[in-house]
Structure 1
Amino acid sequence: MRLRDGVADGGDRDPVAVVHAALDAGITMVDTADAYQNEELVGRTIRGRRDEVLLAAKFGLVWQGEVAGDFDVRADPEYVRQACESSLRRLGVEVIDLYYLHHRSDTVPIEETVGAMAELVDQGKVRALGLSNVTADDLRRAHAAHPIAALQEQWSLVQRDIEQELLPTAAELGVAVVAHSPNGHGVLHRSPSTADERTTNDLSTALGEIAHAHETTRGQVALAWVHHRQQAHGVAVIPIPGTTSVRHLRDNVAAADLALSHDELRRLDILRATS
């Protein structure tokens, strides 16, 4: 989401270097959206390595200004087709592997949106369908119209709303969960003295102590907790931490191999972030 042109100098934050380092490390999913305004950049970074990438893109958010959250949602069938063609052109690819509706619509029934997305699958322009920012009812209705492969929602130690209704529905339907912001937008990297108000001192302290025991970082422990959700809930879970530097990318990759004990996981599970 935060990859941008203007830093292509071959350094630690060169977006091409970041994506290539991810592919070299065995990461396969590259996730973008038309709303991120970086599809052309993403297309350039994977050029020549397309067969190594599970390319995910999203549509539906139409920005109305520069202020965060200032957007409309377009999910009508005509826009579905228009958005896909535009993304394919900007990305420079013939097919998108996983195509998401970025946000639920209050005006267009989700069956209509998914029906149009399913036509893209039939036409060979999209391989699988996903949803983001939806309700459990949306997911169930959409899945009845066409199989939904993935549900992308925020999930971290400081944002666990997904566990109430969406997660059980995804598990029942066999839908993979793609967890964005698994480090709480960077909050879970911080020490108790600098922690965000959403992070209790107890949670931050626990992360620090577990990190010390494993000779790793708070952020890596928090990310490892999300990786362990697959075992806890019986559903495929793919965290996608936002990464703009090669160094940070390598830290994130290492977190996938961090095995937390039952007691450590239980300690983190029972610590709830303040609202």
Structure 2
Amino acid sequence: MALRARQFDTARQLASEALKSNRADRNAVMILAHAMIGQGRTEEAIAPLERVVRRNDDPEMETLLGHALCGARRTSDGIAQLRKTTARRPPYLPAFQELAGQLANTGEIGAAVAIMQEALALAPGNVDLQLDLGRLHLRNNNRSEARRVLAAARAAAPGRTDVLTELAWAQLRDGSYKEAADTYRHALGLRPDDLLSRANLAVCLMEMGERASGEAALRSVFRGRPHMLGRAALAMATSSRGRFFFRPSAAAKFFAREPERGATP
């Protein structure tokens, strides 16, 4: 409970107490390691994880060890550990996701894509893997492949807003503004408080020539949320049919106006 509440110091102390009576308590080591990582003491989490990994075949602990090694700037050791874990059968899919993420962090996007494709070959139709692969394709600027993979994920899980928003972002980046707007509307129907999606919808609307509706969408993002001024102004400036503000006060004044009649986001 302390770990879930991000009370890392309390979680670490409780796990340490449990380990005094049983140094082989796997769950206590797991909690201890997560707490240390949360505290920014990642290097200290490595030794207890290594002790457990040496004694047991535990892909979850191995994956956490790989994550900790990479977090402690021992990236080559961490990636080597993760490659060893991904070679296990039956496959432990989070290890593939962790490895792909670490490879992407080092700039090896192509290698990360290959890892996720390998994982999908082992677990065809897994929506989480499709989502991760779609994101990697976008990072690699392969928009057509990103759209193909994410469209398959949407077909498999039409109610997942994370899939919908990622697909919509791929469509927007590919210049398919009408498709992106429709996908964002679907996502917003499921999660109306998603302000980032509403701001991106506004960009689509303005690119489609629906300037009044786009501006209305951005006003709804800003209204009552002054901290969203920067995001709304950025969305307006991003659109080729938008506008640029030289002063935050000018942007705030513009977004505080009443929307034009008939303009709906």
Q: Specify which structure has the higher proportion of helix.
A: 2
Larger radius of gyration: 2
TM-score by length of 2: 0.29
By relative contact order (CA 8 Å, sep 6+), the higher-ranking structure is 1
Higher relative strand content = 1
